[in-house]
Structure 1
């Protein structure tokens, strides 16, 4: 006689919750997903500007973990079992072809997040699992080997819980009440608010490769940089904000940065400038294309250095040359605050990783309780990496449970 199916409640209908459900054995389990919003997979929908940055083409787990400011040690074993290549295979075998873009980000070929949503929804519905939206979990307690879960309108009894809620304060409080320690969440992946004459009136100006240092924290990053209405953004800034999320929260987002807009050492830039001056003495400085930056930005450099763009380059004084180089290669800017993308908000913080068994993502505190996704104190430097952690952790949970 077949033993009755075990009941699993998945709290949270996001990437991790759905991927776990999509891989669970429907012959063994009766699964219900509880999602507090009216729609499931909301972050998947908006990620990558609605195209869904599914993962990142980095297929060596040792390299892959370097993109996670928090969780890199723990994720190594996770990624050896399921990594971006496996993610691509999983979706492609379900008729969702993926493509790798120039910057190694992975997207569905349709360029629509709906393809990913339809695939996950389809897999879960095919198994006959229940999906309950607008089901805000208010209480969970454990008694006599069962979990009792209360939402506003219903109550459930489960053998096993998968906690995949994302990082909302409410969900962290709930798991804390169950006995887990929470590392206090702080924002990660944010842009720097800066008011400075050099950046004024130049939103949209970008630099292919820039270097940014935070001297007080002895840290630096390089990569593309973008001037925005409120300051600086782009991968170089986002990487810094992720790696230094805790330190920047401590200093309340007020600090000084030093920017090298052309990612060329000052001495080399000085040599380039002098060589150009010797070869083109009669050229006006405003018309001189010496460095790989836009004309608008070059003229802004001259404006803040109080140099007349009509001036012949041969007539520049040593002091004027110094000012240009300082503004270009070691410009000091004061950051006074941050801006986050509300919809794609990422936090550093969550369930303490010491309390999770990374062989199968089970809680070391609670029996038959599994945790994955952004509710953990794991985060990455872009959305694709965050999704990959969700897919990999959820895969481990489903394979472990299927084998019991």
Structure 2
């Protein structure tokens, strides 16, 4: 019986094992940590954001700053609808939330972990934890995998280690080209009076742009302890990951907190001025922002909140509108979420055959998951890439004579 060694007990490794034909192969998973599926466990705040309700491969690839061209063919063979189907066949109920993220009904990542564990137990897959791979050697038709628990021989290797520098070094030593790792999803560190002490203030729809890079994104925005976060920031950080690393995370960002252009905002302001001239500016609800944020806008615009709205000068109004619609901030660094850390970089995609995720350089060697130079914005997309790639590998191996 031929031996398959899966290096890495994460999402891609387990999904691959769960779909392999155990009558044909002896399957072993090697995991260096004491726990498997660690990212699955903590994803989505412990609820596991399994995938995203986007069922058109052409639309789906738009969420991947790196890998979008290559993943198109992958997603035509296995996409989020197939993922849902796979889990539902195993009696796992999934639900689509308002933002299209998909979670187990149980709201617990343990449901997903148990499903994988059950699948591989039924297939007699052996899992070796605390098993650190030291070296992989090509020997004639086979591979010798040297680990902290001794040597393993493999007819086929499936490399799903995640993006740790050590695992990239190991695959580089086998001849693969590695694109340098840079963080991909991060929040922006900003010190500015407008944001001070407004931790937790959110905006339903904001527009952000980095003029120097001619790039813009929109979406919900959040003021954090260290600056700005939320989808509008995370998306721009993912798409511009490489450029932002080049400028060492020092750059200017422009924010429109209300997603209205300045002329439209001015018209709203003028209408309120006409309809409620005696109202105090501090208690006027002109724009859809929190009261705390509105008070801060007036403070940094040097406008007295006790002034009647009719007495607001044209210059004062312009300053308020500039701060709301065209506020420039200096970004002086980044903060990453340790739990949901995603990187750009990894194995060069030119060296992978995306029909079956096999290495173009190494025979009987497959690569999937975050070790590849593929990454996505948050929302279940990184997992979907893992499931789809792993499914292709299993299908290819199952079809071999």
Contact 1:161 1:370 in 2 (8 A): yes
Aligned counterpart for 1:373 among listed residues 353, 369, 372: 369
Matched, 1:154 2:150: yes
Counterparts of 1:153 and 1:121, CA distance in 2: 22
Contact 1:188 1:245 in 2 (8 A): yes
- Aligned residue in 1 for 2:66: 70
Q: Take 1:42 and 1:361, find their aligned partners in 2: how far apart are those partners?
A: 23
1:383 Cα offset (Å)? 5.0
Choose 39-48 or 375-384, whichever is displaced more: 375-384
Structure 2 residue aligned with 1:167: 163
The aligned counterpart of 1:399 is 395
Deviations 1:162-207 (A, max 9, x none): 0000000000000000000000010001000000000001000000
**Is 1:127 paired with 2:123?**
yes
Residue 290 of structure 1 aligns to a residue in which SS? coil
For residue 335 of structure 1, give the secondary structure of its aligned residue in structure 2. Answer: strand
1:185 partner SS = strand
Which of 264, 288, 295 aligns to 1:292? It is 288
Alpha-carbon deviation of 1:154?
A: 1.1
Counterpart secondary structure, 2:339: helix
1:33 aligned to which of 24, 29, 32? 29
How far off its partner does 1:9 sit?
Answer: 0.3
Does the residue aligned with 1:394 lie in a helix, a strand or coil? Answer: helix
Corresponding residue for residue 54 of structure 2: 58
Aligned to 2:230: 234
Once the two structures are TM-superposed, the CA of residue 84 in structure 1 deviates from its matched residue by 0.2
- Give 3-state SS (helix, strand or coil) of 1:193's partner: strand
Cα drift, residue 250 of structure 1:
0.1
Match of 2:172 in 1: 176
TM-score normalized with structure 1 length: 0.99
State the secondary structure of the residue aligned to 1:299: helix
Aligned residues: 400
Which stretch shows the higher mean deviation, 150-159 or 349-358?
150-159
For the Cα contact (< 8 Å) 2:101–2:379, is it kept in 1? no
Cα distance in 1 for partners of 2:360, 2:238 equals 28
The 2-side partners of 1:80 and 1:97 are apart by: 24
**Structure 1 position 143, deviation (Å):** 1.0
Match in the other structure for 2:248: 252
Structure 2-normalised TM-score?
0.99
Whether the 8 Å contact between 1:47 and 1:383 is mirrored in structure 2 is no
Q: Distance in 1 between matches of 2:29 and 2:195?
A: 48
Task: Give the distance between the partners of 1:210 and 1:173, measured in 2 at CA.
Answer: 40
Q: CA–CA distance in 2 between the matches of 1:153 and 1:71?
A: 35
- Verify the 8 A CA contact 1:305 1:324 in the aligned structure 2: yes
Once the 2 structures are TM-superposed, how far is the Cα of residue 318 of structure 1 from its aligned partner?
A: 1.0
Matches of 2:320 and 2:274, distance apart in 1: 17
Matched, 1:221 2:217: yes
Structure 2: give runs of 5+ residues left out of the alignment.
Answer: none
Q: Deviations over 1:222-241 (max 9, x none)?
A: 00000000000000000000
Moved over 4 A (4+): none
Tell me if the contact between 1:256 and 1:334 (Cα under 8 Å) persists in the aligned partners. yes
Structure 1 distance, partners of 2:143, 2:262, is 63
Cα displacement (A) at 1:153: 2.5
The match for 2:83 is: 87
1:276 is aligned, of 249, 272, 276, to: 272
Kept in 1: contact 2:281–2:307 (CA 8 A): yes
Query: For 2:180, what is the secondary structure of its paired residue?
Result: strand
Distance 2:60 2:334 in 1: 27
How far did residue 144 of structure 1 move? 1.3
Which one of the candidate residues 350, 355, 364 is aligned to 1:359?
Answer: 355
Deviations 1:367-400 (A, max 9, x none): 0000000000000001510000000000000001
